Amino acid sequence: MVQLLRVTRIYMVALLLIPSIGFTAPVDGEIQIIKGDAKVIDGKTLEINGRRIIMQEMDAPDLDQICFTKKKYFKFRCGVVAVDKLAKLIAHNPLTCEGNKANDKGVLLATCWVGEPPQRIDIGEQAVLSGWAVYDPAQSKRYKRVQAVARQLRQGLWRAKFVMPWEWRSGNHEPPKENVPHNQ
C-alpha cells in the first residue's frame, strides 16, 4: 500500500509537470527548437504548437500602425499588410524556429526558417527583403544589407512613408514630414 502511494504521487507530480514541458521560457544559453505549422500573429510574431515566438533581429509594423503612400499621401494599415505578406511568405510550410532567449513575458526570441540545410530559407531575412519588415539595430546588423537591397528596390514599406516600428510603439504616430503635400 505504501509503495502504491509513492507510485501514485510520482505519477501525479509527473502529470503536473507535463503541460509545462515545451512551454517553459528558455534559460539564457539553452537552445530551444520548435517545429510545426505556424500561425501569424503580427508581422514578427508567430505561434507554433501553441507557443508564441518573436522573430529576432528584425521588426515589423504593429497591426494598428498607419503608413502613407508617397505620392498622394493616402493612409493605409501597413501592419495588416505586413501580416498578410508574412503569411504568404510562409505559405503553409512547416517552420523550424531556434532560439536561446526569451523576452520579459517568456516569449521565445528565435530565428525561423523553412526547409532543411542546405536549402533552408530564413523567414526573417525574407520578410526584410520583401520590405515588410526592417532590421532591428538594437539587436544586430544581421539583416542590414538585406534591408539596403529592399530599400534600393523600393520594396514594401520603402514605397511608403512610415515611422520605424519601435518609434511607433514608443508613441511617435506622427506621419513623416518630408514630401507632405502643401494642401494638407
Q: What is the pLDDT of residue 71?
A: 84
Is 181 a member of any domain?
no
Is residue 176 one of the residues assigned to a domain?
no
Is residue 9 in a domain?
no
Identify whether 160 is part of a domain. Answer: yes
Q: What are 115-130's pLDDT values in tens digits?
A: 988 889 999 999 999 9
pLDDT at residue 174 in the model: 82
- As for how many domains the chain has, the answer is 1
Tell me what the pLDDT averaged over the chain comes to: 84
CA distances from 9 to 4, 12, 21, 62, 82 (A): 9, 5, 19, 47, 49
Instruction: Average pLDDT across each block of 10 residues of the chain; the chain has 184 residues. List them in order.
Output: 41 38 57 96 96 97 94 92 96 94 94 91 97 94 96 96 95 71 37
**Reduced DSSP (H G I as helix, E B as strand, rest coil) percent helix, strand, coil of the chain, to 5:** 30, 25, 45
Asked whether residue 84 is assigned to any structural domain, the reply reads yes
Residue 136, domain CATH: 2.40.50.90
State residue 26's pLDDT score.
Answer: 55
The position carrying cell 513623416 is 176
Q: Is residue 93 part of a domain?
A: yes
Domain around 124: 26-169
Residue 2 lies in a domain: no
Query: What distance in Å separates the CA atoms of residue 24 and residue 19, rounded to the nearest whole number?
Result: 10
Residue 14 belongs to a domain: no
